[in-house]
Chain A
């Protein structure tokens, strides 16, 4: 019998292939499309897509709109999720896992279904068709809240109680303990949560289309339009690249790439 032996490098091959096929090559293709245009059937290098984006009122407004929707949704998610995650993580509840599960449970149901159901609900309370922006934000928050709770919960749960005790011993009141110890130590979770919510909120156009009756256009929708109805893959790719850069910059600004804090990496798993 032949003994099969793989060394570590060989074990990386499947993932390396995956990376090349589904990450690197598509990225290069998008880059290629973004900086080319078709003139009389010939592809030529161009910056026109880039310039077009930043000179078009419609595209800039869409960018602004997506940004606003995403920021507000993220802020609301954070405001709701932090207390919940804090209480869950710090409480001595015997059944806190059950509680946590209740928050995650909706994630197991297809989100298109959930959004369609939400549409009916909003219609029932009379918001549908009148409050397009509000509806979109409600939808985003509803959809992405678990993505904010989970990383926060994991970081807060792992927080060493002795830090808090030490702070209290040194005379900090509960408020100071929170602002000086708990919150700074939960930053990795906060950042991870923000990236998990902010990014999809800029692009998840199923939510905006369904709940605003197609009245609100966000960047994801614009990209979709360029690929499916405007039949211009070059502009579509350019918008994708710009979105990518924006998200990259947001992460850079929030320090999402910092390598300190193992919790950060653990929480990023979610």
Chain B
């Protein structure tokens, strides 16, 4: 076959299958591709029809900036996943299919331990926006856990209860312990997560609540900066990561007991159910909590019309919490690590972190003045010494642990404090940035090995599949009996249906 024929054929093929363009080499050679695999709805990229004036399309912005800086055109192939396990399977089946993925903490640990991730370059770790603006608290945490060179944190938060403070007089006090949910008076008003790990955490926290409180007392309720913080936090982490047989059994019983009066489990519907008032307590990720509280608040729209709403609160019970992260990693086999690093660098610029926080509501791991200013804009109700509308003095909400050392000079270290009313301190800001006391009692949940995973899954399966109501047994028994009767009657009929021909007659068929 001559060359011209071959070219013609390949052009024809390309026209037929545009998706083959890249494979067939018909794409302009200068265009690079970056394949990003992220959670659904986890980046500021407004879809068509959404008000683009309010949100920045970070993917498009990155493509433009990358071309402007390097002179190379780039196309971001952006795909999404729904669970860590889906993402993991996809990577196992198709190694090298992505340049950049965004798993959660335990999955990052698993992937590092299985040697599935590529380290970030020294240059990136030294000089990127992440090195410059990443929150020192989170950077230290990643350093201490040995993930620093493999993963760049993206979003983070805690777990707690979102609740309606009007529900009862004692609701705040009740929910200051994880055990509050087990109170019979909160029957049919609360949901927990339909997710093994999160609900297991809740169960373990309930089972060991007394031990955790003793520990806290023993250490005198330390905060992040205290010298016994590390020791206390390590102990909390040990308790919250227990997976021995007895713990699993007790957790199962606790969750089954809870299930009896729970409204239900949810993964996504909890937010909306809280907003419309179907439920009044929701075990939630802090990012979802912010979203829920925002959505439920009364507000006045552009036309000056007042919309009714409720002010919800967020609380992290006194015993402990789970601190979680999602982070960018480059899986082994990534083809364009350079662009992947450029993308993470781009996302770690404070102004882009602000765009993300605006769009998805979760808290970025990136600090910096731009982020702090946005937070002041969102939450500050005045300066030090001001009073709120009831004449009560504003309380300081100290964010220095998160922002210190990341500023460009607009704020001095120690000035990262937002003044809010005592009421507001229980709302969005407490979910957006946990206080140092909350951080001290927040444990990272490790990844389970295969055997533990199987045991915990088995536990969860029983929580979800049991108990069977009595009437179900009765129905089944009735059906079995009916089937038996019908079967027997058929057999009897079958015998009767073909009587032997009477003598003297022959059957004509």
Contact = CB atoms under 8 A, between A and B. Distances in A.
Contact of B465 (A59, A130, A132): A59
Given A59-B461, A62-B465, A128-B278, A228 B85 contact: yes
A212 B484 CA distance: 32
A71 interface: yes
A61 interface: yes
A64 interface: yes
Given A57-B462, A58-B462, A58-B465, A229 B85 contact: yes
Contact of A228 (B86, B259, B263, B465): B86
Contacts of A57: 462, 465-466
A217 B464 contact: yes
Interface in A192-242: 209-210, 212-215, 217, 222, 225, 228-232
Contacts, number: 87
B88 interface: yes
A68 B475 contact: yes
B188 interface: yes
B72 to A, nearest CB: 37
A65 interface: yes
B264 A61 contact: no
Instruction: Name, among A72, A130, A215, A222, the residue most crowded by chain B CB atoms within 10 Å (CB to CB).
Output: A215
A228 B461 contact: no
A58 B264 contact: no
Contacts of A128: 278
Contacts of B269: 210, 213
B265 A213 contact: yes
A67 interface: yes
Interface in A48-86: 56-59, 61-62, 64-65, 67-68, 71-72
A225 B454 CA distance: 13
Interface string B176-193: 000000000000100100
Q: Interface size bucket, B side?
A: 35 or more
A68 B461 contact: no
B264 A230 contact: no
Nearest to B469: A133
A229 B83 contact: yes
Nearest to B259: A215
A123 interface: yes
B144 interface: no
Contact of B264 (A62, A129, A225, A232): A129
Contact of A56 (B191, B265, B461): B461
B276 to A, nearest CB: 9
A212 B264 contact: yes
A56 to B, nearest CB: 7
* Interface majority SS (helix, strand, loop, mixed), chain A: helix
Interface residues of A, number: 32
Nearest to B262: A215
A225 B461 contact: yes
Nearest to A231: B85
Interface string A125-158: 0001110110000000000000000000000000
A65 B473 CA distance: 9
B466 A61 contact: yes
Nearest to A68: B472
A123 B278 contact: yes
B195 interface: yes
Contacts of B462: 57-58
A229 B458 contact: no
A64 B468 contact: yes
A30 B215 CA distance: 50
Instruction: Name, among B458, B465, B476, the residue most crowded by chain A CB atoms within 10 Å (CB to CB).
Output: B465
B479 interface: yes
B476 A231 contact: no
Interface of A: 56-59, 61-62, 64-65, 67-68, 71-72, 123, 128-130, 132-133, 209-210, 212-215, 217, 222, 225, 228-232
Shortest 4 CB-CB contacts between residues of A and residues of B: A213-B264, A214-B265, A58-B461, A58-B465
28 contacts: A56-B458, A57-B465, A58-B462, A59-B465, A61-B467, A62-B465, A64-B476, A65-B468, A68-B472, A68-B476, A71-B475, A71-B479, A72-B475, A129-B263, A129-B278, A129-B279, A130-B188, A213-B263, A213-B264, A214-B264, A215-B265, A217-B464, A228-B82, A229-B83, A229-B195, A230-B457, A231-B85, A231-B453
